[in-house]
Amino acid sequence: MSGIRVLIADDNYVIRRGLREILALSKSIEVVGEASTGTECVQMASACRPDVILMDIRMPDLDGVKATAQILKTIPDAKVLVLTAVEDPSVLVRAIAAGARGYLVYGKATSLETLKEAIHAVSAGEAAVTPAIAPHLLEIIRSDMNREQQPSGRVLSSREEEVLALIATGRSNADIARTLGIEEKTVKNYVNNIYSKLNLKSRYDAIRYVLRRDL
């Protein structure tokens, strides 16, 4: 009987090869393919139907979050485990909202045993999250419970749309101000207007709103 079939998606060849060699030490896991871009991962997931997809976040042409969302559109029962160096709560929120079942950060979950446990958990329909960022999942749940069900429908201005798009990439107000060449206090005003118009309560809400609207 074959083990859990895993597809590795990472644009770094060294990381892909290292993961393959590490997982080859486990008799319960079988690597069935490697993808170096988000688009290639989507195609390979459809072709080989792995049990678990190890998904990097930063990849060419299609990032791991969007690749996850695309895969789940065609394979609703696909199980994605994000394995990345990105320890950013906003990215965690986007990945979970897209349908990822786990989120592990390099350096905090790189041992064979930890990785094996995460793969087995995700394959069984459970969750696997690096402990250091696990509390942010509670924020996702809390925000979902408190957020009003429908946005007000008020139209955003073109500048507000720009700000919202930058929020969705995890940018801070200071970063947004530098990008748009405006004062940080002006960005704060735009953010407050966006929240008011769309009935959002936090940046987590804004990220999920954009993700659900655009994917």
Domain CATH code at residue 201: 1.10.10.10
Domain end, chosen from 89, 105, 140, is at 140
**pLDDT of the residue at 138:** 55
**pLDDT of the residue at 98:** 87
Low-confidence stretches of the chain (pLDDT < 70) are 1-2, 108-110, 132-154, 170, 204, 211-215
Residues 72 and 10 in one domain: yes
Residues 85 and 174 in one domain: no
Rounded mean pLDDT of the chain?
84
Residues 14 and 117 in one domain: yes
Residues 62 and 121 in one domain: yes
Residue 51's Cβ-count burial label (10 Å; 0-12, 13-18, 19+) is buried
Residues 130 and 169 in one domain: no
Confirm if 30 and 5 have CB atoms less than 8 A apart. yes
Look-up of token digits 């930058």? 166
Residue 146 inside a domain? The answer is no
**pLDDT of the residue at 155:** 83
- Give the number of domains in the chain: 2
What is the identity of the amino acid at 134? A
Residue 178 inside a domain? The answer is yes
Residue 34 inside a domain? The answer is yes
Range of the domain at 191: 158-214
Nearest alpha carbon to residue 80 among 94, 90, 69? 69
Residues 177 and 119 in one domain: no
**pLDDT of the residue at 207:** 75
Residues 121 and 168 in one domain: no
Residues 111 and 74 in one domain: yes
Residues 131 and 162 in one domain: no
What burial letters (b/e) apply to 195-207, b meaning 16+ CB within 10 Å? bebbbbebbbbbb
How far apart CA 149 and CA 144 sit, in angstroms, is: 9
Residues 95 and 174 in one domain: no
Residues 165 and 126 in one domain: no
